[in-house]
């Protein structure tokens, strides 16, 4: 049946289940709420809507006593939502760290393995259909932020929207960053992180240096992976194709089958329940290791001046490398775990220090504190 009146389809008495794959906020939100109010289960792949209004939709599903299933909304063909809702329901999730955007992972893989510039890697991704003509949603991490909001909501039972997610894209990553990461034993990845710390929930997306021995470091090209840390379960990683027509269709169809089984038996699947608005962990409170690259005058005493700045802000240096660049020096630091607020204060003072000519890249390092 072809129609330009989706509201009539939702209201039709012979429609038992609604599948929403139109995307966007409206009219999808209104149609889903109407279906749930009418006691009809809904399957959706709409990450933008769930990231913006998930709490409202889950509450409506609870009130209507029907399923709202959304496996395809995050990481396409990777079964993630169901394990978080069901398989790990008996555990306390501590942190979820994921590579959830295939476009940016493809770009960073090509920069790492082929030595391409960001612009060339992006052009290749567009030519292969991995990136849109306007890649902003991917490279500026809007897509990943929406997914991080959904993951945080489900993992911690909290109302988290995409506006709560700290976001940095990959457009500032340079070939020098990629090479420095390689020499230090890391690879650069765009990570989505959802965590619970001190009773607060945090969600963020940003580039990070990942140790080569970490399972996420081996995730290449357009593949996705999600690394889950549980109090009882320990470490679990889910890996696969996070986007594309067939993986997404498989996830949608799986939800349709589940919803149909529940309809036939008169039951419901695992419910989300009411998401509670909780205090968000501010980015300034995040604890991480950091990579900093700066240029300084190559003269006696400069290292002592720079080290003193770190020390005054209680940021401990784990390692330092110095490389000559003409008459100046390029200094590369990796810190021990430090609070984001202290790291930002350090960087601000370094920028005002006469001996420091330029503060370049500042990247978080997946490791202690992460």
Average pLDDT over residues 82-108: 95
Q: Token pair of 269, please? A: 């699947």
Question: Could you report the per-residue pLDDT of 329-347, keeping only the tens digit for each?
Answer: 889 999 999 999 999 999 9
232-248 residue pLDDT tens: 999 999 999 988 889 99
CA distances to 153, 304, 311, 312 from 301, in Å = 50, 5, 15, 17
**The pLDDT of residue 201 is above 90:** yes
Q: From the CA atom positions of the chain, what is the Rg in Å? A: 23
Residues of the chain with CATH 3.40.50.720: 6-77+245-265
Where in the sequence of the chain do the CATH 3.30.70.260 domains occur?
283-365
Q: Which three-class secondary structure state does DSSP give residue 14?
A: coil
The residue-averaged pLDDT of 45-52 equals 97
Beta carbons of 188 and 207 less than 8 angstroms apart: yes
pLDDT band at 85 (very low <50, low <70, confident <90, very high): very high
**Cβ contacts of 113 within 8 Å, gap of 6 or more:** 220
- Section 44-48 average pLDDT: 97
Which CATH number is correct for 6-77+245-265, 3.40.50.261, 3.40.80.10, 3.40.50.720, 3.50.50.60?
3.40.50.720
Q: What percent of the chain has pLDDT over 90?
A: 87
Q: Predicted confidence band at 92 (pLDDT cuts at 50, 70, 90)?
A: very high
d(CA 281, CA 276): 15
Q: CA of 115: how far to CAs of 103, 109, 129, 295, in Å?
A: 17, 9, 21, 23
Q: Where in the chain is the domain with CATH 3.30.360.10?
A: 81-241
Cβ within 8 Å of residue 60, ≥6 positions away: 32, 33, 36, 37, 68
Q: Is 358 helix (H, G, I), strand (E, B) or coil?
A: strand
Q: 173-184: per-residue pLDDT in tens?
A: 999 999 999 999
Task: Report residue 274's pLDDT band, with 50, 70 and 90 as the boundaries.
Answer: confident
Catalytic-role residue among 147, 189, 200, 274: 147
CATH superfamily for domain 81-241: Dihydrodipicolinate Reductase; domain 2 (3.30.360.10)
* Residue 243 confidence (pLDDT): 80
pLDDT at 125: 93
Whole-model pTM: value is 0.94
Active site residue 200: no
Fold adopted by 283-365: Alpha-Beta Plaits (3.30.70)
For residue 269, what pLDDT is reported? Answer: 82
Residue 61: pLDDT over 80: yes
* HEC secondary structure over 291-355: EEEEEEECCCCHHHHHHHHHHHCCCCEEEEEEEEECCEEEEEEEECCEEHHHHHHHHHHHHCCCC
């Amino acid at each position: 049946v072809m129609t330009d009146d989706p509201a009539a389809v939702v209201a039709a008495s012979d429609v038992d289940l609604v599948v929403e794959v139109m995307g966007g906020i409206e009219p999808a939100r209104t149609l889903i709420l109407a279906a749930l109010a009418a006691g009809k289960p809904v399957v959706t792949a709409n990450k933008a809507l769930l990231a913006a209004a998930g709490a409202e939709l889950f509450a409506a599903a609870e009130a209507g006593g029907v399923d709202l299933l959304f496996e395809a909304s995050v990481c396409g063909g990777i079964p993630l939502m169901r394990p978080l809702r069901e398989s790990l329901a008996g555990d306390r999730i501590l942190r979820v760290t994921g590579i959830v955007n295939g476009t940016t992972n493809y770009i960073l893989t090509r920069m790492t393995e082929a030595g391409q510039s960001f612009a060339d890697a992006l052009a290749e991704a567009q030519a292969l259909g991995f990136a849109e003509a306007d890649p902003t949603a991917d490279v500026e991490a809007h897509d990943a932020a929406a997914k991080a909001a959904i993951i945080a909501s489900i993992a911690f039972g909290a109302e988290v929207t995409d506006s709560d997610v700290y976001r940095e894209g990959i457009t500032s990553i340079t070939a020098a960053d990629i090479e420095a990461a390689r020499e230090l034993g890391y690879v650069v990845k765009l990570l989505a992180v959802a965590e619970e710390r001190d009773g607060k929930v945090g969600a963020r997306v940003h580039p990070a240096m990942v140790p080569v021995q970490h399972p996420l470091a081996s995730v290449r090209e357009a593949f996705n992976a999600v690394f889950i840390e549980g109090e009882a379960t320990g470490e679990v990683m889910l890996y696969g194709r996070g986007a594309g027509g067939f993986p997404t269709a498989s996830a949608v169809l799986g939800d349709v089958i589940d919803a149909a089984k529940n309809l036939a038996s008169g039951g419901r699947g695992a419910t989300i329940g009411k998401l509670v608005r909780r205090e968000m962990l501010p980015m300034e409170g995040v604890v991480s290791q950091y990579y900093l690259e700066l240029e300084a005058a190559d003269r006696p005493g400069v290292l002592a001046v720079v080290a003193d700045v770190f020390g005054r802000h209680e940021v401990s240096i784990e390692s330092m490398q110095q490389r000559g660049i003409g008459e100046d020096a390029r200094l590369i630091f990796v810190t021990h775990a430090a609070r984001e607020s202290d790291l930002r204060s350090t960087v601000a003072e370094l920028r005002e220090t006469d001996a420091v000519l330029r503060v370049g890249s500042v990247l978080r390092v997946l490791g202690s504190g992460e």
